């Protein structure tokens, strides 16, 4: 970032106005993600559009241990005029399983724009394209949010375009956080026109439906007199996201009796937990899963079980059922406990389709996740290889993390013949009959 417009960095890291939208995923031969954040430039209406790009390296051709990548970024206004162009070539060390993050700056004024980013593998001509619409409003007292998954100290004299004061902020250009590994998100924003005042700040995590999942305590910060731009950096623990899907990260700033808020949508993918040893869980400790137990019973058994007079009678039936199945009870109760990883804001994990399948069939041998399905809904494919190569497909239609089962190879399970079509949103020009 231009050092002339950046004056201060306030670090709020613990010791241990809606943003532009979700990150955009490319189409074509090359896969990459782009995201943007808009910041004020000076006292007028001019703004800086920061464009962030994340590129997995091992998809590029390797030439002398290097990948050579050309990137073109083009900003076009609503009248079709090109108002900004950036082109650069990157030579990076070819590495498996690593991504490189780049950032560029484009100047603009409030209005509607289209941003096109084209990435070309110079070794073979393969290409990917990402198109993103931007609705840039007039600058306010708080910028849009830049959400990152890593922050490092900047070396003296560094001209890295991702530099913010004394640190380099590596944005989550794909907008995706995988839990439990990437549990912390870093938030960078700029506060304008509050020199000489004490401001209060708070960052929060909300679900797709707006429910508050976690909030940092409000913190007070003194902005030095005469400072027109203050850069602030905060961090937020994402562990409160109990399910996969769309979430919102918010930052509020209160000053002079007014409170302004910026929000940024992100996708959180909660990794299925590894199966824990049965002895480390509470099986056999007297805990009974009377509701979940119905999932194992035949229709006749369910009718008899539901017809019992009260939970005490159902507990006796439960104990009798497992009396000669000690190992089976331990496994069942272990699965019930681990099904909590599928909890949503609307229901407990065992009541979801994924939780039900987890309890009945156990953890799958493989899960293929598509949290960013281009032009479609997020979905997962679960595969079981030991018991006949069975498959389940779930999709998240409403972005709440409640994945619904739409396909299975198991007889009697929910399975729609047009499940692949169901993964694509229905557009207004192609309505459902």
| pLDDT for residue 371 | 67
- For 9-270, CATH number out of 2.60.40.10, 3.40.50.10540, 3.30.70.20, 1.10.10.10 equals 2.60.40.10
Q: Where are the domains of the chain?
A: 9-270, 278-422
CB-side neighbour CA atoms (13 Å) of 36? 29
What's the confidence (pLDDT) of residue 409? 94
Is pTM beyond 0.75 here?
no
Give the mean model confidence (pLDDT) for residues 61-67: 93
374, pLDDT greater than 70: no
The DSSP annotation for 10-31 comes to: EE--------S-SPEEPEESS-
Q: Provide the token pair at 111.
A: 């209005």
Distance CA(63)–CA(68), nearest Å, equals 8
Q: Is a pLDDT exceeding 60 seen at residue 72? A: yes
Q: Which of 231, 263, 298, 255 is nearest to 9 (CA)?
A: 231
Task: Say if strands 176-179 and 258-270 run parallel, antiparallel, or are unpaired.
Answer: parallel
CB atoms within 10 A of CB 302: 14
Tokens at 338, concatenated: 């681990």
Q: How far is CA 177 from CA 34, 80, 150, 338, in A?
A: 15, 35, 11, 21
The C-alpha atoms of residue 336 and residue 244 are separated, in whole angstroms, by 19
State which of 216-230, 237-251, 325-339 shows the largest mean pLDDT. 325-339
Q: Dump pLDDT digits (tens) for 28-49.
A: 999 999 999 999 988 788 999 9
Residue 131 has pLDDT above 90, yes or no: yes
Indicate whether 275 pLDDT > 90: no
- Give percent of the chain with pLDDT exceeding 70: 88
Of the candidates 79, 146, 140, 87, the residue with the CA atom closest to the CA atom of residue 114: 79
Mean pLDDT of 173-184: 82
Q: Is the pLDDT of residue 406 over 90?
A: yes
What pLDDT was estimated at residue 431?
A: 40
Distance of CA 233 to the CA centre of its chain: 19
Between CA 169 and CA 148 the distance in angstroms is 7
Average pLDDT over residues 379-383: 91
Could you give the percent of the chain with pLDDT greater than 90? 49
**Structure-block tokens of residue 173:** 């250009």
Determine how many CB atoms are found less than 10 A away from the CB of residue 408: 21
Check residue 357 and give its pLDDT: 97
pLDDT surpassing 90 at residue 248: yes
The residue assigned the tokens 């849009």 is 144
- Return the top range by mean pLDDT from 141-150, 262-271, 351-360: 351-360
Check whether 73 has a pLDDT greater than 70.
Answer: yes
Of 32-41, 147-156, 171-180, 209-218, which has the strongest mean pLDDT?
A: 32-41
* Residue range 71-94: mean pLDDT, rounded: 94
């Amino acid at each position: 970032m231009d050092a002339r417009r950046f004056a201060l960095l306030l670090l709020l890291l613990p010791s241990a106005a809606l943003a532009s939208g979700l990150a955009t995923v490319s189409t074509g031969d090359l896969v990459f993600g782009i995201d943007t954040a808009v910041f004020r430039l000076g006292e007028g209406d001019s703004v800086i559009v920061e464009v962030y790009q994340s590129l997995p390296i091992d998809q590029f051709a390797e030439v002398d241990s290097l990948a050579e990548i050309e990137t073109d970024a083009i900003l076009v206004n609503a009248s079709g005029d090109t108002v900004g162009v950036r082109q650069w070539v990157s030579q990076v060390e070819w590495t498996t399983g690593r991504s490189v993050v780049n950032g560029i700056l484009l100047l603009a004024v409030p209005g509607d724009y289209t941003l096109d980013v084209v990435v070309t593998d110079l070794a073979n001509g393969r290409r990917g394209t990402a198109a993103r619409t931007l609705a840039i409003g007039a600058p306010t007292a708080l910028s849009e949010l830049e959400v990152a998954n890593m922050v490092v100290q900047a070396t003296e004299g560094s001209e890295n375009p991702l530099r913010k004061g004394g640190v380099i902020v590596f944005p989550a250009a794909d907008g995706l956080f995988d839990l439990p590994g990437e549990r912390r998100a870093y938030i960078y924003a700029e506060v304008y026109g509050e020199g000489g005042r004490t401001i209060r700040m708070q960052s929060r995590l909300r679900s797709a439906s707006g429910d508050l999942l976690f909030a940092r305590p409000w913190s007070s910060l003194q902005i030095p007199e005469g400072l027109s731009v203050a850069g602030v950096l905060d961090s937020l623990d994402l562990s409160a996201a109990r399910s996969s899907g769309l979430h919102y990260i918010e930052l509020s700033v209160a000053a002079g009796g007014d409170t302004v808020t910026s929000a940024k949508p992100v996708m959180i993918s909660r990794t299925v937990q590894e199966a824990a040893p049965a002895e480390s869980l509470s099986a056999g400790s007297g805990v009974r899963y009377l509701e979940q137990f119905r999932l194992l019973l035949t229709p006749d058994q369910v009718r008899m079980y539901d017809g019992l007079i009260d939970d005490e009678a159902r507990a006796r039936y439960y104990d009798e059922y497992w009396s000669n199945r000690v190992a089976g009870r331990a496994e069942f109760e272990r699965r019930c406990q681990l099904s909590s990883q599928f909890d949503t804001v609307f229901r407990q994990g065992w009541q979801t389709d994924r939780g039900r399948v987890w309890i009945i069939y156990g953890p799958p041998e493989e899960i293929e996740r598509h949290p960013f399905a281009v032009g479609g809904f997020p979905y997962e494919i679960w595969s079981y290889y030991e018991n006949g190569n069975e498959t389940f497909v779930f999709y998240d239609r409403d972005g709440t993390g409640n994945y619904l089962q739409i396909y299975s190879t198991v007889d009697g399970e929910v399975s729609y013949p047009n499940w692949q079509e169901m993964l694509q949103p229905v557009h207004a020009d192609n309505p459902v009959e």
